[in-house]
Amino acid sequence: MTIKNLSFVLLTALSLILVGCDNDDTSGDTYADIIMQVSENVVYKPVWGSDAPVEHMLVKEPSDTEWQPLVMGSIEGFEYVQGHAYELKVRKTTLANPPQDGMNCTYRLLEVISDTQPDTPVAPEDWPEEAKFKLKMVQLKPFMDLDTPLAAPFDFLTFRIFDNKDEYTPFGYPEFLQYYDSIVVSSPVMPDTYCVYRKKTNEGSTSEEFMSQWSSYFFEKNDFQIVLKGYKDGEVKYESKIEQVMRERDFLGIDWKKGGVTLANPQTNAIYCVLDTRYEFLLTDTQLRNNTSFVKIGVANNINFTDAENLKRQEDGLRWLLTKYLGDKTAETIDNFKTLPEDASIVETYGNVTTRAALIHFKGDDLHEECYYIIAEPK
């Protein structure tokens, strides 16, 4: 074979390899090899065409900032074990012609990079009764003046920790604490943990810190699990779980028709989540402008960030909030809104059947710093 012919063969082979990197087959499907995280927790959700809840894994692709549900068995060649956390290398194929009632991509396992064994608590029947505890939601304070037993995003929830006899100790230290070094609150759909009990030993002396009651807002619109884990010597010895029921209103915790409106001295509410500390939102009371209700939402600055970093954080946090609750962007303009200030500079608009919202960029003036904020109003 001549050098010229050899070069042609090599170029042809290289071309086929490069095509294979972009396409799984000749159907137009494309693929990419990605690293996927799989949580040790699962959720149950209905699937398309059915109201029955189906078990889903919680996964993260490199571009995801939150755990996403994926129907169990959706990764070809991968067998999920309950309670294990995984890091996988998978081939993600994006379908050129996905089925109407299915996903637009498929996954195939290439490699299990890591398989983390779960913390295994002592079986409940082997753990002393006096060491057991439970968590209960005891108070709901809706964002608006509503009489409702169901929580919505941005409502304020209060929880208490009870012993095995359903007794609550508001002061002091209940008996079950002697079995643990720490007790920690977590949720499978949130990134952070919150420690409600910690025992410290320093130079022969021991001190304890315990919060029998704690409160938080939450950024979730679907039901979610809250887990209370008791640790001893770094191992989970006992855990208790509750399912927190959440229901959406028109937008976040806002009900445009039934909710109250503040006509004088509106307040700005700091909305924080102890299990998701990425952002703290600043939400005004519902007000009136041009005879139309509206709220303003901002993001609190972090004192550890520069002005430029805080500005970017505001934009990212508000866009995350709008996408999570209102979905895709809309094509509305300033003329569609009734409550925007005259100097409003719209970056993007979002909406659903009840609400329209605008992400606003304020360039700043002599009295106010540059910032991003949201104005939301009813349709």
Query: Residue 267's Cα: distance from chain center in Å?
Result: 26
Assess whether pLDDT exceeds 90 at residue 281. Answer: yes
What's the pLDDT at 344?
84
Q: How far, in Å, CA of 323 to CA of 329, rounded? A: 8
Mean pLDDT for 318-346 is: 91
What the block records as the tokens of 370 is: 């540059």
- Residue 91 pLDDT > 90: yes
pLDDT in tens, 12-58: 444 434 444 444 455 688 999 999 999 888 776 766 666 556 778 88
Mean pLDDT within 113-124: 73
If you average pLDDT over residues 70-78, what whole number do you get? 90
Alpha carbon distance 51, 335 (integer Å):
40
Residue 315 binned pLDDT confidence (cut-offs 50, 70, 90): very high
Q: Which pLDDT score, from 0 to 100, does residue 66 have?
A: 82
> Per-residue pLDDT for 5 more than 60?
no
Check residue 174 and give its pLDDT. Answer: 94
CATH number for the domain formed by residue range(s) 124-244: 2.60.40
How many angstroms separate the CA atoms of 55 and 51, rounded?
Answer: 13
Q: What is the pLDDT of residue 24?
A: 45
> What is the predicted pLDDT for the residue at 230?
93
Residue 378 has pLDDT above 70, yes or no: yes
Name the pTM for this structure.
0.70
Q: For residue 122, name the pLDDT band (cuts at 50, 70, 90).
A: low
User: Can you give the residue ranges of every domain in the chain?
Assistant: 21-116, 124-244, 268-378
Residue 279 has pLDDT above 90, yes or no: yes
Mean pLDDT of the chain: 86
How far is it, in rounded angstroms, from Cα 87 to Cα 211?
A: 35
